[in-house]
Amino acid sequence: METTFSLRGDLSVNRLGFGAMRVPGPNLYGPPADRPAMLTLLRRAVDLGANFIDTADMYGPFVSEEIIAEALHPYAPGVVIGTKGGLVRFGPGREGLLNDGTPQHLRDALHGSLRRLKLERLDLYQLHRLDPRVPAERTFAFLAEARQEGLVRHLGLSEVSVEEIKLAQQHFPVASVQNRYSLFDREHEPVLAYCREQGIAFIPWFPIGGGDVKDTEVVQQVAARHQASVRQLALSWLLHHAPNILPIPGTRSLDHLEENMRAAALQLTAEDMQALDSIG
């Protein structure tokens, strides 16, 4: 099993990263209850080998990016920060979100992320969602322009179809795709297959279903063989399933962080994979 992946053959990262969605307060809104604990959590994630940190400007909003910079800047060599723009948060939960894929908003959002993360260029900038009110070609043209200006090194997409990836590829090389995907949720298997064929990183969000892993008999049996938790097994399955998958489990708990990162050491057999594959 490959333990690293190279974004566009350029930036090598450990495949098991850290998702900073839970760094802000409840429902992704406002500051965390214990800011020092989140600083410790982020530093520990990097210490454990999570050198790919995934975030977004709407986490908080802005809180996650600010705390990442406070915890990790100046960034150690090899640490890659990926952030997202194109969703605007006005309040907690899904009802507090609004799409905005206009070039005007994305330019402001991109410069805001650069400022908060204390960077002159973003390693990876991902469009959080396509805005149905804005022609995709217009959004993609702006992203290509931002890359040409040197504001971003690589570009990615989130929650897209194969057809939408192909359209984006007419404007810029797509480095990553971030869709919901897990052991129990494989709706985007065709997208994963296309990304693997194209050498695109596939970053599953909710890789362990927000921690709510279905504890089936098959999962229990395989986990017991490896003396692993079902969370670890779900992450290990992703790492074994395809070499371009970069799971980014998030947590507010140091104990869960340590548990998640140990999943990279599990070595599943062909028999294990066959049993787990049958679930989906």
Confidence of residue 158 (pLDDT cuts 50, 70, 90): very high
Q: What angle do CA 250, 59, 83 make, to 5 degrees?
A: 80
pLDDT at 239 over 70: yes
pLDDT at 228: 96
CA distance 251 to 235: 14
- CATH classification at residue 20: 3.20.20.100
Compute the average pLDDT of residues 27-53.
Answer: 97
pLDDT at 213: 64
Catalytic residue from among 29, 59, 125, 181: 59
pLDDT at 73 over 80: yes
Tally of domains in the chain: 1
Query: What domain range includes position 213?
Result: 4-277
Compute the average pLDDT of residues 151-158.
Answer: 98
CB 234 within 8 A of CB 206: no
pLDDT at 199: 98
Compute the average pLDDT of residues 53-57.
Answer: 98
pLDDT at 272: 97
- Please report how many Cα atoms fall inside a 13 Å half-sphere around the Cα of residue 165, on the Cβ side: 27
The percent of residues in the chain predicted with pLDDT above 90, rounded, is 94
* 59 carries an active-site annotation: yes
CA distance 275 to 262: 21
pLDDT one-digit tens code per residue, 240-264: 999 999 999 999 999 999 999 999 9
Could you identify the residue written with the tokens 């992203």? 143
Give the range among 77-81, 115-119, 206-210 with minimum mean pLDDT: 206-210
